[in-house]
Amino acid sequence: MILLTTSRRPTRRIRTLCHDFVRSVPNIVRINRGKLNLDGIAERAVELNANRIVVIDRWKAGPGKIKLFRIEQTGLISVPPLMYVAGVRLRREFEAKTKQVRSLVVTTEPENPTETIRITEQLSDFFNLPRLPIDEAATKYQASMHVSLDASQCTQITFMFIPQMVEIGPRITLSKVVWEVPL
């Protein structure tokens, strides 16, 4: 199971992004952080039987970065990549209305650059989701976490309803991806 939380003083947009994540990714639980530090979040995750944590931090009144952590015997271990967010389009801003996603797969185009494929592999491993080509995923899964490049060559993570390939949101555009994550 995965625990999802925010920075200490989240904005409405960050809270909505967290709600959208919960509706889009199976086996994820959201908690309000309040005054908890990272160790407190780790303790809460252990109480909920979660072994991974996603923290969405704030930057200039919006989602700023997404940090991934794994809980080990030695404590909280930061997992690459550290993703800096350039922009977010929430689920309510899309026309397609769907219910909570029950089965999700990570997809990407085979001709994407190695950076995008590397992000796809890491997200698949962290969220414990299968990674398949789009045509194979259409027959087995309800939705897709699709990693691609947008028109300005920024990495984009979007959630799509597979049979019709309709974007259901959220869409997260990344400005920068850091692979050497500080402890």
**For residues 39-50, average pLDDT:** 95
pLDDT tens string 117-143: 999 999 999 999 999 988 888 888 999
**For residues 61-78, average pLDDT:** 92
Look up the CATH number of the domain holding residue 134. Answer: 3.40.50.10480
Q: Note if the pTM is more than 0.85.
A: yes
Q: What is the DSSP letter of 31?
A: -
The mean predicted confidence, pLDDT, of the chain is 92
pLDDT for residue 164: 85
% of the chain surpassing 70 pLDDT: 99
Q: How many domains does the chain have?
A: 1
Full DSSP string of 32-44: --TT--HHHHHHH
pLDDT > 90? residue 109:
no
Q: How confident is the model at residue 183 (pLDDT cuts 50, 70, 90)?
A: low
| Cβ atoms of residues 136 and 130 within 8 Å | no
In a domain, 44, yes or no: yes
In a domain, 34, yes or no: yes
Given the DSSP bridges, would you call strands 104-108 and 143-149 parallel, antiparallel or unpaired? parallel
In a domain, 183, yes or no: no
> Measured between alpha carbons, how far is 110 from 106 in angstroms, rounded to an integer?
13
pLDDT for residue 139: 85
% of the chain surpassing 90 pLDDT: 75
**For residues 39-60, average pLDDT:** 94
Q: Which residue segment(s) compose the domain that 61 sits in?
A: 2-178
pLDDT for residue 130: 96
